[in-house]
Amino acid sequence: MIAIDPVCKMKVDTETAQWTHEHEGETYYFCAPGCMRSFSQDPEKYLGDHEGHDHSDHDHDHHH
């Protein structure tokens, strides 16, 4: 399966990913240790409202 590195947005193969980090029950995959380290220090910086969930059932506006 392919995951997107939340830091640099590269595609990462979850089968071969060497760097992972669990946050709030979700496992995130990284292309390099530096991306994993950046994420682990400040996950919310990379997991804004626009990332990580489906908005089809939400009733709110996004301001970009």
pLDDT (tens, 9 = 90+) of the chain, 64 residues, equals: 999 999 999 999 999 999 999 999 999 999 999 999 999 999 999 997 554 444 444 444 544 4
- In the chain, domain spans: 2-46
Res 3: pLDDT: 97
Q: Nearest to residue 44, comparing CAs of 62, 19, 26?
A: 26
**Helices H, strands E: what count in the chain?**
2, 4
The residues with which 11 forms a beta bridge, in sequence order, are 4
pTM for the full predicted model: 0.72
Res 48: pLDDT: 78
